Amino acid sequence: MQGRLWLVDGHAAPHEDGTNHYSISCPCLCPHFINYFLSRNGAMQRLLYALLPILLVIGDGLAVQAQPIPGSSPTNASELLPLINEARSAARMCGDDRFPAAPPVAWSDTLAQAAAAHNNDMSTNAFRGHAGSDGSVPHERVRNRTDQFASVGEVLAYFQNNSAETVDAWLGSPDHCRIVMDAAYTHVGTARATGPRYNAPNQTGTYRTAVFGANPDAPRPTVHTNVDSSEQQDSSPEAAGVVVYGRDTCPNTTALRRALDNEGIPYTMRDIDDEAGASDAMWDLLYSADEVIGSTRLPVVEANGVVFGGIRSADRIEQALRGDL
């Protein structure tokens, strides 16, 4: 009986017809298949195997690699992308905040590279958190690669069994959910890697990272909290005592500003994406969050020169002004 062998991308697969000759498919070298018919032990077979590395190298050099369409998901993209967009397609509550359905995010190779860099760092060095082993933080890892995105959000997950469980876990956490549902984000890149568990180095687990990016002209999300949005006052008077660092697209910032307005507490609002002169203390606190960057520590409040993270109420700011925090 004879057997037929096809070599595609350097991998051999026997043909089912049982013929004794061998065939090499080289579509990179010519528009038609080039077939070499050889006996099982013939001299030509030995010559062919000697020439195979050369043929494969030449073919690889002549092949035209398909380029992904900008904004599209490459064929090997994480299965997280469709799950994220499915989640964004429906309105939902993230904690006390109601988010309407958001437009789908497009795939970004650059954001995926930033996600992979941090994900591989965590899985290799068995740690968790948004600060890398080199001290890098999410916005630095993105801006080292591109200046396309005005703001960045990063969510992490550890040791879920699959991607569906990962997205469910993010949606079940208010701060993670706010990033996934934020309509300001237009692109995402994700990464997955397996390595030693940070809490049990003798065991392995899967680390997942998703990095979201917002274009400068991205739409602001409509967020509804316990107070109707029509009641919100957009006042930001200069005040020596209170400075609120945040994003207009961040629901926590919106809620705090509403509370300050309702209590009549004057404050200065500064957008962290536009405020180049923000204090080092503010940035250090903002990116010290253990689980999620983008919403969980926003807003950051400076009260009488002292920086606080995660303050969500006017009462807490009054305590900070009195020095009781």
Q: Name the DSSP letter for residue 300.
A: E
For the domain 229-322, what is the CATH code? Answer: 3.40.30.10
Q: Name the DSSP letter for residue 216.
A: T
Task: Output the CA angle 284-299-87, nearest 5 degrees.
Answer: 105
End-to-end CA distance of the chain, in Å?
Answer: 85
Look at 242 and 200; give whichever has higher pLDDT: 200
Residue 222's identity, in one-letter code, is T
Q: Do 206 and 218 touch, CB atoms closer than 8 A?
A: no
Domain boundaries, the chain: 5-62, 80-214, 229-322
| Domains 80-214 and 229-322 fall in the same CATH topology | no
- Whether omega before 299 lies within 30 degrees of 0, making that bond cis, reads yes
Q: Do 41 and 29 touch, CB atoms closer than 8 A?
A: no
Give the count of beta carbons closer than 10 Å to the beta carbon of residue 182. 27
pLDDT band at 171 (very low <50, low <70, confident <90, very high): very high
Q: Of 264, 42, 83, nearest to 167 (Cα)?
A: 83
> Taking residues 248-259, what's their average pLDDT?
73
The rounded distance, in Å, linking the Cα atoms of 236 and 260 is 10
The rounded distance, in Å, linking the Cα atoms of 247 and 253 is 7
**Which residues partner with 242 through β-bridges?**
303
Using one digit for the tens of pLDDT, what is the confidence trace for 209-220? 999 998 866 554
Map tokens 């609002």 to a residue.
269
Using one digit for the tens of pLDDT, what is the confidence trace for 77-134? 478 999 999 999 999 998 888 889 999 999 999 999 999 999 999 999 999 888 889 9
Using one digit for the tens of pLDDT, what is the confidence trace for 217-233? 655 443 333 222 222 22
Mean pLDDT of the chain: 67
The rounded distance, in Å, linking the Cα atoms of 132 and 254 is 29
For the domain 80-214, what is the CATH code? Answer: 3.40.33.10
Least confident of 67-71, 138-142, 152-156, 192-196: 67-71
In this predicted structure, the answer to whether residue 247 has a pLDDT above a threshold of 50 is yes
Look at 192 and 254; give whichever has higher pLDDT: 192
Q: What is the pLDDT of residue 279?
A: 54
Which range among 181-195, 282-296, 305-319 has the greatest average pLDDT?
181-195
Q: What is the pLDDT of residue 160?
A: 85
The rounded distance, in Å, linking the Cα atoms of 272 and 275 is 5
